[in-house]
């Protein structure tokens, strides 16, 4: 049927309308594409450029150089050494097993090393570098670089590892670093990304641990360009991190090494305090351990040897060990009684060799007794009965208060591991902690540093320093940080009558210098170097009445672990005190025979800032001392940097 003009016109209008709609749609789509293209190419160019670059640019952390640790004279106690190592990035390696097999053909590595690396890779993100092995030779590094095209994802690099030049001599003080572990991450609230780097070293003990955040520093970054296989092509730029802060201790390495050598063969602790600043010149515990063993990964044999040694080389006895202070506590009891006015310095107490309290006999060390004895003689001859009597007059609470004034029963804020608090017990302590009533017998035991009383060599050294100076001396280990001097430890005047302190010092001088003094064998004869001190012997076993009847067994006839602890505290010179020294020898027997000679030798080493002349010793001792000095000098000279003997 033939269309009319009207139908043709209507049909033409419909087609034109449809064409217009289609054209408009096409134009809108083209415009949208154009706008999107312009947006991507111009407005979002930087974003897409970055996305593209991420396919060929990696950003890696740069561990900072760990801060160094020095002694007071600038001798490095903890430093960093270069360490060649090989790392792998799992994301860039592709077939990890195949790449590691090729690596073993280039550098001989033990199967257990490869197994540990695989285990570590499974625990880490694919893009985190994992150390396969460290302490490689330069030849190994060169071989890896030559074979780089066949080892995708593997890189040989230079890092820093910790080194302790004086090894065991500073092991307990400086401590050591080791790889960060899951346990470390679980117990510290630290979001530092450095801690996520496998085998990143952090402080585990001692100063290394307590000042970790200060010594660690902050990470830097580097941008590297990699090819399609993940092989590093070039370094684009880097931003160095901030190295850790350098720390200077108040410790004197030479004196520290001497103290360690002098206590060789003993289970002992010794502390030397500078009375002008409170600086800890020596904090020695014997035996010790070589911290380098832990940095490099301690062997099963070495670990077993350290743990099974009955002398406990891992224990920092100087600050961690607490012992009944024995007769070194008598100054506390006497000063408490004098301050309370319950006894005068010239008043005498009769010592028949024992005192009976509530039906129990408390014996003096001298079975025949000392007779009538005053304060001065009681301290010089270390009469026990004198203190059995005066402690009942003054009471335990005032004794405990005096002990705290003199620095006992205090945990000092030192950057050392496991600093002990010790114990100066009183009535409230026994009631609250043990649920028992305090008894008179407890006071009698405490008066001579037995019973519940406990103190560390550190606390005994502080006690002696405070008696010697009459001031609140507080121990200071950190001398400066990045060259900034830290506050000293010399405090205010003690709230104790100076007359009583002076009389106590006179009695301590007689302990060493009087012919009847208990520490006469620790005499210093050099003019102007005279020493004052107090011996102590603390029992670790109960002596029964039957044993006393047949004769008390001598320490040397007992097994080592049942012998008494030996203690000695001292300061010198008498007229112008410079140092206080405290020594505890575990199961050493008597304080006068075991601890006092060690303290005297350490004191002389401090006073002379090196080996003292033989004429500083009594003439009868000089031949023995000369041989001893040779042995110690030989031992110290054998200390290899990074491999000190324990």
Spatial contact of 645 and 169, defined as CB atoms under 8 Å apart: no
447: which 2 tokens?
A: 């008066």
Three-state DSSP class for residue 517: coil
Spatial contact of 94 and 152, defined as CB atoms under 8 Å apart: yes
User: Taking the CA of residue 31 as centre, how many other CA atoms within 13 Å lie in the half-sphere pointing to its CB?
Assistant: 6
Q: Is 327 a catalytic residue?
A: yes
396: which 2 tokens?
A: 């335990």
Tell me, what DSSP letter sits at residue 322?
A: -
CB-based contacts of 407, cutoff 8 Å, min separation 6: 459, 462, 463, 465, 466, 473
- The C-alpha atoms of residue 136 and residue 169 are separated, in whole angstroms, by 28
* Element at 536 (helix H, strand E): strand 532-538
* Element at 10 (helix H, strand E): helix 5-38
* Element at 31 (helix H, strand E): helix 5-38
Spatial contact of 226 and 235, defined as CB atoms under 8 Å apart: no
CB-based contacts of 508, cutoff 8 Å, min separation 6: 331, 379, 467, 532, 533, 534, 570, 571
- The C-alpha atoms of residue 193 and residue 196 are separated, in whole angstroms, by 5
Burial of residue 645 (number of CB atoms within 10 Å: 0-12, 13-18, 19+): middle
* Element at 18 (helix H, strand E): helix 5-38
- The C-alpha atoms of residue 133 and residue 144 are separated, in whole angstroms, by 12
Q: Which of 267, 327, 378, 570 is catalytic?
A: 327
Quick one: which of 16, 35, 15 has its CA closest to 27? Answer: 35
Partners of residue 371 on adjacent β-strands: 351
How far is residue 587 from each of residues 285, 366, 602, measured CA to CA in Å? 15, 20, 20
> Helical H runs in 133-217?
138-146, 171-174, 182-187, 206-210, 212-216
User: Taking the CA of residue 617 as centre, how many other CA atoms within 13 Å lie in the half-sphere pointing to its CB?
Assistant: 24
- The C-alpha atoms of residue 443 and residue 399 are separated, in whole angstroms, by 9
Tell me, what DSSP letter sits at residue 198?
A: T
Which residues are marked as active site?
Answer: 327
């Amino acid at each position: 049927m033939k269309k009319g003009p009207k139908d043709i016109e209507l049909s033409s209008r419909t087609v034109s309308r449809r064409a217009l709609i289609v054209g408009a749609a096409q134009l809108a789509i083209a415009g949208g594409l154009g706008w999107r293209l312009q947006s991507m190419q111009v407005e979002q160019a930087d974003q897409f450029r970055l996305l593209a670059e991420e396919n060929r640019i990696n950003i890696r952390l740069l561990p900072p150089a760990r801060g160094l640790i020095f002694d007071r004279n600038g001798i490095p106690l903890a430093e960093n050494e270069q360490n060649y190592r090989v790392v792998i990035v799992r994301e860039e390696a592709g077939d990890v097993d195949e790449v590691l097999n090729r690596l073993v053909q280039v550098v001989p590595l033990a199967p257990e090393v490869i197994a540990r690396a695989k285990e570590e890779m499974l625990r880490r993100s694919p893009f985190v570098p994992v150390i396969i092995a460290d302490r490689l030779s330069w030849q190994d590094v060169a071989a890896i670089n030559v074979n780089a095209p066949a080892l995708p994802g593997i890189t040989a690099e230079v890092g820093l590892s910790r080194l302790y030049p004086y090894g065991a001599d500073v092991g307990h003080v400086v401590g050591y670093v080791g790889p960060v572990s899951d346990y470390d991450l679980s117990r510290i609230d630290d979001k530092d990304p450095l801690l996520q780097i496998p085998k990143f070293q952090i402080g585990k003990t001692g100063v290394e641990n307590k000042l970790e955040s200060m010594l660690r520093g902050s990470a830097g970054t580097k941008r590297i360009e990699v090819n399609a296989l993940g092989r590093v092509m070039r370094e684009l730029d880097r931003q160095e991190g901030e190295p850790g802060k350098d720390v200077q201790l108040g410790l004197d390495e030479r004196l520290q090494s001497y103290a360690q050598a002098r206590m060789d063969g003993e289970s002992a602790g010794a502390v030397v305090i500078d009375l002008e600043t409170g600086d800890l010149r020596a904090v020695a515990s014997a035996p010790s351990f070589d911290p380098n063993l832990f940095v490099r990964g301690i062997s099963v044999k070495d670990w077993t040897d350290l743990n099974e040694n009955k002398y406990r080389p891992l224990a920092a006895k100087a600050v961690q060990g607490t012992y009944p202070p024995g007769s070194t506590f008598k100054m506390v009891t006497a000063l408490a009684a004098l301050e309370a006015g319950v006894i005068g310095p010239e008043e005498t107490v009769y010592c028949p060799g024992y005192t009976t309290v509530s039906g129990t006999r408390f014996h003096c060390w001298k079975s025949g007794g000392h007779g009538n004895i005053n304060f001065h003689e009681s301290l010089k001859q270390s009469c026990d009965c004198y203190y059995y009597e005066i402690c009942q007059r003054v009471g335990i609470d005032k004794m405990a208060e005096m002990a705290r004034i003199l620095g006992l029963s205090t945990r000092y804020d030192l950057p050392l591991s496991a600093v002990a608090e010790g114990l100066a017990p009183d009535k409230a302590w026994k009631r609250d902690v043990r649920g028992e009533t305090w008894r008179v017998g407890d006071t009698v035991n405490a008066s001579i540093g037995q019973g519940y009383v406990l103190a560390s060599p550190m606390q005994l050294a502080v006690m002696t320093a405070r008696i010697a100076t009459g001031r609140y001396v507080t121990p200071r280990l950190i001398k400066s940080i990045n060259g900034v001097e830290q506050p000293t430890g010399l405090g205010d005047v003690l709230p104790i009558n100076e007359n009583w302190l002076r009389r106590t010092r006179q009695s301590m001088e007689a302990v060493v210098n009087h012919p009847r003094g208990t520490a006469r064998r620790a005499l210093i004869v050099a003019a102007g170097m005279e020493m004052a001190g107090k011996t102590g012997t603390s029992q670790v076993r109960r002596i029964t009445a039957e044993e006393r009847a047949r004769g008390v067994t001598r320490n040397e006839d007992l097994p080592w672990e049942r012998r008494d602890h030996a203690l000695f505290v001292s300061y010198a010179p008498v007229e112008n005190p410079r140092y206080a020294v405290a020594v505890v020898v575990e199961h050493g027997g008597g304080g006068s025979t075991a601890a006092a000679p060690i303290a005297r030798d350490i004191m002389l080493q401090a006073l002379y800032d090196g080996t003292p002349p033989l004429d500083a010793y009594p003439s009868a001792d000089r031949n023995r001392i000369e041989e001893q000095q040779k042995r110690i000098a030989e031992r110290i000279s054998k200390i290899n940097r990074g491999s000190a003997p324990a």
